[in-house]
Amino acid sequence: METKYIFVTGGVVSSLGKGIISSSLACLLKARGLRVTIQKFDPYINIDPGTLNPYEHGECYVTVDGHEADLDLGHYERFTNVHTTRANNVTTGRIYQSVINKERRGDYLGKTVQIIPHITDEIKRNVKLLGNTGKFDYVITEIGGTVGDIESLPFLESVRQLRWELGQNSLCIHLTYMPYLAAAHELKTKPTQHSVKMLQEVGIQPDILILRTEHDIPAQMRRKIAQFCNVEPDAVIQSLDQPTIYQVPVAMHAQHLDEIVLRKTGVTPEGEPHMEPWMNFLDKMNKAEKEVTIGLVGKYVELQDAYKSIDEALFHAAVYNDRRLKLVMIHSEKINDSNAGQLLSPLDGVIVAPGFGQRGIEGKFSALKWCREHDVPTFGICLGMQCMVIEFARNVLGLDDANSTEMNPTTRHNVIDLMEEQKSISNLGGTMRLGAYDCELTPDSRAAKAYGKTLVSERHRHRFELNNDYRQDLERAGLKCVGENPSTHLVEVVELEGKRWYLGTQYHPEYSSTVLSPGPLFVDFIKAAISYHEEKQAAE
Ligand code: GLN
């Protein structure tokens, strides 16, 4: 079968959930046995989101091949269980960089280099990159931003050209918003009509409209939209708010989104998608009554998307443990030695988040000290693991000024230090230790038991590491280094012996947790949190 290309654009407002819609469609097509990948084109100039702070763009996701990517790629993986790569996320910056490099090399010798055709050709080349591997039946391309933005114009022009070139092997889905005017008790179609008109102005006729709405859209209103927008009535689909994002594929299938997409791309739908494992997850999720309460200590707690993959990994793990997740965000700048007990004692488990820089770091130490002394299940991720080591070195080994050289470059006890290969690097973009590396686990460790194996591969995003000069002292005092990279001997996992569950990973296990394959460490952590909760209850 020839590769089919589906383009997903958005209008009216941003944050409509294009990523979730794309992921849901991919999930349904995959459940029909098709090979699917999703890619995102972002119209900003940064080469990748690695240098953006979470206030700008939420979490930075990392692919197995070490690309710092938009957080939507996390959704793609969680919904499809298929790895994404560097090719799945392209920005305007990457496109321009490539064109300018070609120009300097002389590839366009004699020609004036222009947005059309040179930039659009480069966009089109990138759109087709994954399709050309022959590995996919469907390539879903999400265009970031909102129709009408100046910066997305070259992408839309490329979509227009591709639609023309690919014919029935392509399709455009446009996502819009239906506002509800409470005073008039009315849903409004006009913004959708305007948005479609704007898309038509750049030469794109959407084939399917998905309308994000907080209220059910009456059939006659859908017919009206179909008529005004040149779309078939059954291709006007509503996307009502769902209790969780994982219900969206089911809501889309109920309105035949997958069948419509197949038919419109010349494929006859046969039977139903095999959604049983997915439905089992939803069933478990819906049946869970008891709660497990986890605290997340970090400095971006007011931002919904800053720790997206951790939130989702915890959610998956809670569902597989038949629990509802109650996540309590704890601002690392607001926790200290005197209020730690009050803030942390209601919790069943604590996660100390990844991060960069000094801000909020002392709060992480206070939280970890309290959790360690009170034997609370505790999970440190990346910077969180480094903080575990520093807190332990300070308060157990008695090295008062123990620190990471990230926080204090001249500390006498650099228990966390810059990795050797990082020392000569001055550029900040894309230069961390990134992507998946092997980790060998000590057979009897908690981590090995959780994974059910001793060789794992997880993703990284860091410059600093546990300083192996301190390894013996740390281990002698009980902080065991139970995971290390087999070739470089970098410490990947630490565990405090004699505790319920006190474990830190230099890597980010959250990136690989999906609905159908939850992160083993998260599942084990939640299990420990549940036992701790039950022990606390029994003691009351
Ligand atoms: N700032 C730390 C480092 O660079 C940790 C990074 C992280 O938590 N992702 O090593």
pLDDT at 48: 83
Q: Is the CB of 459 under 6 A from ligand 1?
A: no
229 is catalytic: no
Amino acid letter for position 226: A
How far apart are the C-alpha atoms of 163 and 142, rounded to whole Å? 14
| Phi-psi group of 145: left, alpha or beta (phi > 0 → left; psi -120 to 50 → alpha; rest → beta) | left
276 is catalytic: no
How far is C-alpha 221 from the chain's CA centre? 35
**H or E segment to which residue 236 belongs:** strand 236-240
Stretches in the chain below the pLDDT threshold 70: none
Name the pTM for this structure.
Answer: 0.94
Report the atom number in ligand 1 closest to the C-alpha of 464.
10
Q: Is the CB of 511 under 6 A from ligand 1?
A: no
pLDDT at 424: 81
Q: Which of 67, 259, 510, 533 is catalytic?
A: 510
pLDDT tens per residue across span 424-475: 877 787 788 999 999 999 999 999 999 999 999 999 999 999 999 999 999 9
Q: Which of 371, 382, 439, 481 is catalytic?
A: 382
Ligand 1 centroid vs 383 CA: distance in angstroms? 5
Structure tokens at 373: 């002394």
Q: Is the CB of 463 under 6 A from ligand 1?
A: yes
pLDDT at 425: 77
> Buried b vs exposed e over 94-119: b needs ≥16 C-beta within 10 Å?
bbbeebeeeeeeeeeeeeeeeeeebb
508 is catalytic: yes
Nearest CA to ligand 1 atom 5: 383
pLDDT at 293: 98
pLDDT at 524: 98
pLDDT at 429: 79
Report the atom number in ligand 1 closest to the C-alpha of 432.
4
How far apart are the C-alpha atoms of 98 and 104, rounded to whole Å? 10
How far apart are the C-alpha atoms of 26 and 44, rounded to whole Å? 25
pLDDT at 127: 97
pLDDT at 319: 98
pLDDT at 301: 86
Closest by CA to 441, choosing from 456, 431, 462, is: 456
Ligand 1 centroid vs 1 CA: distance in angstroms? 44
